[in-house]
Structure 1
């Protein structure tokens, strides 16, 4: 038997066109107070299930129930407070004990709150105790004829010390603790205490009774207990499965170029761009499509921020449940470089927002200023090319090197190499100056470096086909590495150590054969499939 229990707040998950699909397995509805009659009427007419309700402590002065003569039903007709429910519709069980034969359920109701002002339906501890005393004859009959006092006590206020608060309005009733100890209901269902914190405790065991705060709504399986908002949980599971499938489809689409389906690593981009200034931009609304990477979680999500790993399930679903129940989450934190944004904190929130079709998200932004302009859709390769072009142009502009030596064939795949090349020329110039009295001009030193160092190394690389061992690298890359290796060997074995031998040793030690590259590629593919 499934119960839908509502209290205190018009829940958009209940008050919606999808209520029939969402709660199709419900057998009965219970109302724990502080809800308007039209809301109850909507639930009853939509689900075509009986509703049993009590009153809270708000919005009561205009309700006919609290007039001496009569009470107002959902249909606008009048009935006496002691009237009993017959057929389909709704029943007020406030101050009553009833047995619902169809479901063999004994239900008692005690509405109202602790007295804190002169409002309607507020009671002191003694007044609530006397209300309970009036229920005892009927409870006793149930004990005699049905073997139990009752199954469910429906209240508005909580018991003292369970889900209540310190302010006078939201304190619980101590007498409810006595009631549970003596009459042993299976459930005490209450409202009154609003759960603004989605992590606040909703369910507590006391003796033989399960106490549940029904704020917004809860679904309870009478035999198994409270379902964690069954629709929301099921929807979150469905959403995660769908997002994982989209991540897989994205990886399949980019199987030829896997990098196109990956998030950018903030640390990689920072290392490439070398930003030199940080500025706090404060709170902003950011277009989610401009978020292209992450500081730490770039391997866990696809380029479209779909979850790639199963271990993300619980956190992702928790965020999705918050989204589904309109819980306001704190803003994410972003790092901005150019037109690109990287997530510092809030990767799961971005993933859920994108999966739910959200266009913009609130974020706390810190901007890092770089000299190279990059577009929001740039890949890591695009950024790298832009940085390499920027560095090359800066060096050529500052030194005029392109008018001194042929630089057309000098290409690098890593940033910083052009400035390292200038250091090589300056180092070569230093040793040339040791043999001359006059300072050697930079153009002469550059031509000498090119002819006596750079060209000989490139010739060795071409002759021995060393570049085949270093895929996606250039001759200039190998020159840098081999010269550095050669200098370390000269320091160890003497200045006469052969250049060609040093180059061959470096290629043998750090290069990769075709078979080793193929084996690594196959291993990588199998790992991704797992």
Structure 2
């Protein structure tokens, strides 16, 4: 709903705050009624995000105009504002209204400070300014940006719970350092599957080294596993119509675990796929 101006900036700033608080409460109620996860309205904590993705380094890139909807988290003020930077209590009211009044009067508002991770931004300083900008219906804000490089791309992170999957994927790729197309192809939706697949690939690599009588580094094992084991099996899974609604990596892990349980062998043959197709039907 569009903000209505009374012509009295101070009164309008007070109404802005009350409106933002009301929207925050209604959002919490809506989340409860829809039985959504508790973390959908919680802003993402910068430290947890970067730890899950694996921090490499950072650099200052100067002042930029950033979209407000790309600001999803905070360094240390997650208690005072929700995911859309609506105030969670009256604790911030005095400063909030002072900034809203300044904005309504057209006074200069200094740029906020943010970390940039991929396309996401996390507020270092300026939480109240972001909150006021949201409340006034703005779509962008000036920010002094520090770009943080990470091992994994933050794509797909929407809620705090998504960090678990990213963290396990980062650990998996440290154990199984896939590159390029292979890295992009092996994707899981359940974080624990990454741990299981990591164990499986390491065991496969150990058997390979025993067979060949030589030591291989992790990168070589990862490449050989993907080319010699994963791709051929995934092709057979597609032909046998056994992928279903899973990702291809999840389908591979499923039949690999079932193969060992059912047959105590590491062969891939027609009999095995017939057994798996019968189980799925």
Q: Say yes or no: TM over 0.5.
A: yes
**2:81 counterpart residue number:** 301
Look up the match of 1:284.
64
CA distance in 2, matches of 1:340, 1:381: 16
Please tell me whether the aligned partners of residues 332 and 346 of structure 1 are also in contact (alpha carbons under 8 angstroms): yes
The alpha-carbon deviation at position 383 of structure 1 amounts to 3.6
Whose helix fraction is larger, Structure 1's or Structure 2's?
2
What is the 5 A alignment of 1:95-110?
none
5 Å-filtered alignment, 1:346-361, equals: 346-361=126-141
The one-character-per-residue Cα deviations of 1:397-427 (angstroms, maximum 9, x if unpaired) are 57xxxxxxxxx9x9649x9x79x989xx9xx
Contact 2:117–2:148 under 8 Å retained in 1: yes
| Structure 2: gaps (5+ residues) | 179-187, 207-212, 217-281
Does 2:241 correspond to 1:241? no
Contact 1:372 1:390 in 2 (8 A): yes
Cα deviation for residue 441 of structure 1 reads 6.8
Tell me: higher relative CO, structure 1 or 2? Use CA pairs within 8 A at least 6 residues apart.
Answer: 2
Residue number among 369, 383, 388 corresponding to 2:168 in the alignment: 388
Q: Would the aligned equivalents of 2:51 and 2:167 in 1 still touch at CA under 8 Å?
A: no
Classify 1:384/1:339 alpha carbon distance in 2 versus 1 (closer, same or farther; 3 Å): farther
Taking the TM superposition and a 5 Å limit, the aligned residue runs for 1:14-413 are: 22=7, 231-255=8-32, 256=35, 257-375=37-155, 378-397=158-177, 412=192
**CA offsets 1:78-102 (integer angstroms, 9 cap, x no match):** xxxxxxxxxxxxxxxxxxxxxxxxx
Shift of 1:375: 2.6
Aligned residues: 190
CA deviation string 1:317-366 (max 9, x = no partner): 01101111111111100001111100000000000001101111000000
Q: Is the 8 Å Cα contact of residues 339 and 376 (structure 1) preserved in structure 2?
A: no
Partner Cα separation in structure 2 for residue 310 and residue 284 of structure 1? 31
Aligned residue number for residue 500 of structure 1: none
Change (3 A) 1:397 1:270: closer
Q: Can you give the 5+ residue segments of structure 1 that lack an aligned partner in the other structure? A: 1-17, 23-230, 399-407, 430-438, 443-530
Shift of 1:312: 0.7
Determine the C-alpha separation between the residues in 2 that align with 1:358 and 1:299. Answer: 23
Are the counterparts in 2 of residues 374 and 383 from structure 1 also a CA contact under 8 Å? no
Question: How far 1:232 moved relative to its partner?
Answer: 2.1
SS of corresponding position for 1:328: coil
Quick one: distance in 2 between partners of 1:376 and 1:238?
36
Q: Any idea what SS the aligned residue of 1:362 has?
A: strand
Quick one: distance in 2 between partners of 1:344 and 1:253? 29
Contact 1:292 1:376 (C-alpha < 8 Å) held by counterparts: no
2:142 aligns to what SS in structure 1? strand
Task: Measure, in 1, the Cα distance between the counterparts of 2:191 and 2:112.
Answer: 40
After TM superposition, give the deviation of residue 254 of structure 1 in Å: 1.8
Change (3 A) 1:276 1:250: same
> Which of structures 1 and 2 has the bigger CA Rg?
1
**1:458 maps to which residue?**
none
1:226-250 deviations in Å (ceiling 9; x for gaps): xxxxx22211111111000011111
1:358-409 C-alpha deviation (Å, 9 max, x unpaired): 11100000010012112376222234323423432442357xxxxxxxxx9x
Counterpart secondary structure, 2:99: helix
Q: Retained in 1: the 8 A contact 2:118–2:154?
A: yes
* Conserved? CA contact 2:53–2:166, under 8 Å: no
State the TM-score, normalized to the length of structure 2. Answer: 0.60
Secondary structure class of the residue paired with 1:361? strand
Scaled by the length of structure 1, the TM-score of the pair is 0.33
